[in-house]
């Protein structure tokens, strides 16, 4: 059985208080601002075996909309109405009643959407404070991109790679990692001319197009006249159908997400006619990060090296304050930001 990360035993309370964000009501469709509430709550002292963490940054992920909507078949528990929401966060231990963690340790965990997290020490994983220039980089989706390319898409040197939502958290990393792993050509799609320029400029994609500019299949054919070998799919719908059409024999598709149905009232998520999947002997493989956490250390080592020598750009949007997080989640999926979006909860 999967348990919610919110099962925090309560203990003696101090005078400390902190903000937490809750789901106020389960919305019908895309959540309006009143689907969320921000509450000030007492912060309990850690009971024996527990740790108190002051959160520094939390991750915003379009997948949170699926937990709000209670979509069937999710690998994680839905958000419950009236309960604090949860998600990836990085914070600093400020009190510990367990020998495994000490005051001052930097930890990653799943108790985001709140300024303070109190839980058993097992809920927290200590990370290296010196690993990155900012603790927020511990929330990067680089590992998602890495395992999607190497495990699900079986990327090979010389491949032509297409990435959708390429200016986003996962897509921006997928395009850059594909290049670093030997792709011959990397093509990205995004939702505005500014994002297209960002892809071919700052992120070093070979070609990019705006998926609003006419049929995606035409734009993709122009960018890849010899076809594509790998598609890193964050979106589904028309972009997936176009990728199947433009794909070379034995092409491989890694399905990372379905942004197309995370925002739309009437989603266009289907891959369409699968006859060419048969004819071209294509592989379409969904993946989730949780099946590949054993590659985290290997990825982290390479990621730090790429950051040090300047061969990768970690693009990030920082939103300040928990009170702004619900709006930022809506804006994120609406296309307002580039890179990994995080909320700063403390300094
Ligand atoms: N498999 C896994 O383990 C795993 C792990 C993490 C995330 N994910 C999933 O991977 C996907 C990408 O995550 P992310 O955090 O990197 O998100 P992201 O790409 O940063 O998401 C925000 C972007 O989504 C784009 N978007 C929204 N609706 C769209 C639509 N209908 N068509 C095309 N683009 C649309 C917008 O870009 P434009 O302005 O370009 O439209 C927006 O800027 C999500 O579905 C997420 O849930 C999967």
Nearest CA to ligand 1 atom 27: 333
Rounded Cα distance, 265 and 196, in Å: 26
Are 62 and 131 in the same domain?
yes
What is the rounded distance in angstroms from the CA atom of residue 301 to the CA atom of residue 44? 37
Ligand 1 pocket, residue 61 CB under 6 Å: yes
Is 302 a member of any domain? Answer: no
> What pLDDT was estimated at residue 263?
66
* pLDDT for res 88: 98
Q: How far is the CA of 14 from the centre of ligand 1 (A)?
A: 40
**Does residue 179 sit in the same domain as residue 199?**
yes
Residue 309 lies in a domain: no
Domain of 166 in residue numbering reads as 142-290
Is 333 a pocket residue for ligand 1 (Cβ < 6 Å)? yes
Same domain, 171 and 86: no
107 lines ligand 1 (CB under 6 A): no
Q: Hey, whose CA ends up nearest to atom 45 of ligand 1? A: 257
Q: Whose CA is nearest to atom 11 of ligand 1?
A: 257
- What CATH number does residue 30 fall under? 3.90.180.10
Q: Are 205 and 199 in contact (CB under 8 A)?
A: yes
The verdict on the CB of residue 287 being under 6 Å from ligand 1 is yes
- Beta carbons of 207 and 179 less than 8 angstroms apart: no
Residues 117 and 171 placed together within one structural domain of the fold: no
For residue 5, tell me if it sits in a domain. Answer: no
> Average pLDDT per run of 10 along the chain, which is 347 residues long?
45 77 93 94 97 98 91 86 97 98 98 98 97 97 98 98 98 98 98 98 98 96 98 96 98 95 68 92 96 96 97 97 96 96 91
Round to whole Å and give the CA distance between 192 and 188.
12
Encode pLDDT of 180-218 as tens digits: 999 999 999 999 999 999 999 999 999 999 999 989 999
Separation of alpha carbons 97 and 101, rounded Å: 8
Question: Do residues 279 and 157 both lie within one domain?
Answer: yes
């Amino acid at each position: 059985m999967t348990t919610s990360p919110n099962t925090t035993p309560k203990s003696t309370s101090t005078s400390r208080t902190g903000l937490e964000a809750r789901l106020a009501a389960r919305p019908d469709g895309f959540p309006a601002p009143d689907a969320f509430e921000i509450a000030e709550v007492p912060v309990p002292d850690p009971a024996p075996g527990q740790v108190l963490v002051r959160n520094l940054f939390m991750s915003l992920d379009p997948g949170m909309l699926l937990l709000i909507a209670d979509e069937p078949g999710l690998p994680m528990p839905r958000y419950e109405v009236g309960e604090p929401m949860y998600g990836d966060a990085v914070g600093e231990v400020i009190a510990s009643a367990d020998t495994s963690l000490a005051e001052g340790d930097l930890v990653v965990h799943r108790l985001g959407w709140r300024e303070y997290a109190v839980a058993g020490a097992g809920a927290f994983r200590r990370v290296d404070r010196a690993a990155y220039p900012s603790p927020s980089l511990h929330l990067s989706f680089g590992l998602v991109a890495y395992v999607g390319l190497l495990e699900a898409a079986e990327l090979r040197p010389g491949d032509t790679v297409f990435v959708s939502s390429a200016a986003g958290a996962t897509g921006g990393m997928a395009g850059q990692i594909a290049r670093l792993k030997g792709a011959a050509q990397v093509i990205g799609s995004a939702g505005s001319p500014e994002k297209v320029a960002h892809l071919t400029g700052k992120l070093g994609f070979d070609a990019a197009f705006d998926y609003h500019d006419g049929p995606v299949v035409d734009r993709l054919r122009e960018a890849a006249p010899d076809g594509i070998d790998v598609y890193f799919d964050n979106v589904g719908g028309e972009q997936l159908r176009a990728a199947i059409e433009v794909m070379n024999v034995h092409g491989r598709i890694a399905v990372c997400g379905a942004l197309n149905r995370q925002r739309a009232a009437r989603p266009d998520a289907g891959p369409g006619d699968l006859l060419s999947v048969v004819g071209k002997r294509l592989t379409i493989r969904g993946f989730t990060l949780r099946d590949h956490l054993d590659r985290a250390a290997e990825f982290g080592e390479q990621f730090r090296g790429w950051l040090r020598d300047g061969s990768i750009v970690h693009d990030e949007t920082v939103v300040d304050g928990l009170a702004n997080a619900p709006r930022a989640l809506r804006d994120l999926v609406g296309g307002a930001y580039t890179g990994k979006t995080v909320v700063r909860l403390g300094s």
